[in-house]
Amino acid sequence: MEKNLEKTYNPQAIEDKLYDKWLEKKYFHAEVDRSKKPFTIVMPPPNITGQLHMGHALDNTMQDILIRQKRMQGYNALWQPGTDHASIATEVKIIEQLKKEGVDKETLGREKFLERAWEWKEEYGGRIVSQLKKLGSSADWERERFTMDEGCSQAVEEVFVKLYNEGYIYKGSRIINWCPVCQTSISDAEVEHVEQTGHFWHIKYPVAGSDQFIEIATTRPETLLGDTAVAVHPDDERYAGLVGKMVILPLVNREIPVVADYYVDKEFGTGVVKITPAHDPNDFEVGKRHNLPEINVMNDDATINENGGKYAGMDRYEARKLIVKELEEAGLLVKVEEHVHNVGTHDRCKTTVEPMIKQQWFVAMEELAKPAIEALKNGSLEFVPERFDKTYLHWLENIRDWCISRQLWWGHRIPAYYCDECHEVVVSKEKPATCPKCGGTHLTQDEDTLDTWFSSALWPFSTLGWPNKTEDLDYFYPTNVLVTGYDIIFFWVVRMVFSGLAHTDKSPFQTVLIHGLVRDSQGRKMSKSLGNGIDPLEVIDQYGADALRLTLITGNAPGNDMRFYLERVEASRNFANKVWNASRFIMMNMEDTKMEDVDLSQLTGADKWILSKANSLAAEVTANMDKYDLGIAVQKIYDFIWEEFCDWYIEMVKPRLYNAEDTTRAAALWTLKTVLIQGLKLLHPYMPFVTEEIFCTVQDEEESIMVSAWPEFREEWNFEKEENEIETIKEAVRGIRNVRAEMNVPPSKKAKVFVVTENQEIQDIFNSSKVFFATLGYASEVTVQADKTGISDDAVSAVIPNAVIYMPFAELVDIEKEIERLKKEEERLAKEIARVTGMLGNEKFVSKAPEAKINEEKEKLVKYTQMMDQVKERLGQFNQ
């Protein structure tokens, strides 16, 4: 074979080259093919403002692993990619750009602003896609979509009009999250709850017509300007006589009622709460139940409005200071307590969000949520791990109407039109020529755009051509798996599920695979403020994409956070080096050797052992991947390649490779190549680049590992007897190595090895495997015999089940140390025998434990007793 690998593994030299080859060959592309079973993953669309971070890297690596494996298994695998327009994030970026040019958004006007936004998208929107390609993502880039492309926009309009006509979308005044800086409503997903140290202000509310007071405690005293009631629990005897009476609102001097409502927690604070329906979502609900007025006391920039009387025009925090000061002067401030609480802030600009009552567009969620709950209960939707069922259900069962309008220009504009003459509202995909009510021709479109999540909720089906009945939609939908972090189950997963069910009658995916966060080495969340973020692209530049991918998956369990250490990336790169160097070694030995005529009957015990191990590995890894235990699967592949294949098998066959006359040399090389290819295929989804480069060099039957067949268990490769034989040899070698290591004997010092056993089967195993001992057991000569005849009394021993290994090199041994070592072994075995005897003598254990477990412990007792006899015999010899 003339091809060979470069001397050293250099990911920078191969990764881009291979990715370009894959693109050119269209290996990622999927077309409808009814002869194949489809497997679809839809990529959570990254923001066009996005920069690849470790969360993206983990998320996309997991998707790529699944899609690459399914492709190799013969599925028609589609990984549907695309990007999200990210309304607020993009608008903020463009406004920043305009500011640098000294241009004001309002002065520029909507049309010109949108022109700039599309220019920005064209320039920067593809950045994250090129970064995902660096990671090795095998998405079908020919099908790349954008949430504001023509097809997705058509789907958005279709859904809005449909839900409006069905009565699910309405315009009304409700509490929403308002960002005073960005001047828009924002979704719950964009509210970050940050722990802040604040205060509880305890305030007296005088009871009208008496000298009594009710004491309330609040963290936002400025909102008392909008109080329209105080509430107590209906069963709170302390306040039973006050329900229905009026109290005087401090500083405002307006009379407001005392109402009884189960929302109040009797045990918390004073058991009395102020009710401000226009500035608190819970108070809003209380207000609706008791027909309370709603008084908004804030402007959009969080200054106090005209409803705030003399405080009008003041910033909310400025007003707070003055109100507290005046309450104190009036003798109405009882006390101030320090209080740590979670405060909602806008994740983009970090401003404290103001709950505010506003006229907005909403989706009525109660009915839409029911099928989404049922989908989980009837099994058409499942979470991995299952514990996230609770999170999903909790959110759906307590769902509030969804505010979908945003006061932004970049995004899908709401398809609602207002008649300038009669104010009729017309919801339509196209602008109506005339008002259906009065015939007027002047209609103005709603200024607002839709929440970004409105379009991404349709992503699994809008990307496949819905609302049109396309072949792609019919064949690739519903999708199979959604891979996402646990932090957006509510905001995105829930919305996709209810949207899929409402518009396609199907859950948009069967399985939701949840992963955790990638944290720093100290377990902290990666963030700009902490400065602890690690750029995946820098890691790729230094160590290669394969090393990063392996690190992100190793030890990773579904739903759990992981810690990221650069030392682990180095270990992953070392593993790639190990595979590379082992492959080079095999290829160099394959030159001028014909292996075509080798069949299984020509294989030695060692060959059959490693082939059988690789065979079992294929079955185990497939089973783990089917259960989405990707971390467990890759650990098994890693351990097999590094330990069994490289450290054991390659070392075992070296004597055969170096002997041109050895008749089993071709069988050894056939096995090396076959098992290497098997290992590479199993490793490919995790480390696509290094496996492709080696695969294409070690064989020329197939042009790419990407389109090769996934390994399956083959009965003819199942050699249980040979596996047991070699495991016995390995145990002996380990025993020899341990004894030599304890005595600090250098590997260069060869010694005779005697295997003493009366067991004929064990004798046969060692007689047929003497060749291994030269390389693995540092043996100058191997003798297998039934007793100790001819073995010097000062020989050092290693005890294994049914045999003792002796090494007569007394001149290297400190006899006292050997006695000490044997005594330690005697102590260890005594403890094990006592433990097993105790278990087997325990009636509770024997009556309840499975039969297999009892038999296992009995076998251990026999093994330990035999080993103890051998240790005692050895000690007796030394004592003589």
Task: Report the side by side order of strands in the sheet with 382-384.
Answer: 76-80, 38-42, 479-485, 509-515, 382-384
Spatial separation of the C-alpha atoms in residues 779 and 299, rounded to whole Å: 88
Q: How many CB atoms lie within 10 A of CB 390?
A: 10
Determine if residue 469 is labeled as part of a ligand binding site.
Answer: no
> What does the alpha-carbon distance between residue 199 and residue 469 come to, in Å, rounded to a whole number?
58
CB 152 within 8 A of CB 145: yes
| 262 Cβ contact list (under 8 Å, min separation 6) | 233, 234
Burial class from Cβ neighbours inside 10 Å (0-12, 13-18, 19+) for residue 726 reads buried
Distance separating alpha carbons of residues 26 and 231, to the nearest angstrom: 66
- How far apart are the C-alpha atoms of 61 and 137, rounded to whole Å? 7
Distance between CA atoms of residues 90 and 103, nearest Å:
17
Q: With CA atoms as reference, report the closest residue to 586 among 646, 662, 663, 659.
A: 646
Residue pair 810/754 in contact by the 8 Å Cβ criterion: no
Please state, in angstroms and rounded to a whole number, the distance separating the CA atoms of residues 461 and 381.
Answer: 16
Q: What DSSP designation does 238 have?
A: G
Note the residue count of the chain: 880
The string of DSSP letters for 639-662 reads: HIIIIIIIIIIIHHHHHHHT-TT-
For residue 199, list its beta bridge partners: 338
Structure tokens at 588: 């160099």
DSSP secondary structure, 24-86, as one string: HTTTT-----TTS-EEEEEPPPPBTT----HHHHHHHHHHHHHHHHHHHTT-EEEEE-EEB--
Phi, then psi, of 779 in degrees rounded to 5: -95, 135
CA Rg value for the chain: 36
Q: How would you write 700-746 as a 3-class SS string?
A: CCCCCHHHCCCCCCCHHHCCHHHHHHHHHHHHHHHHHHHHHHHCCCC
Binding residues for ATP: 528
Binding residues: 528
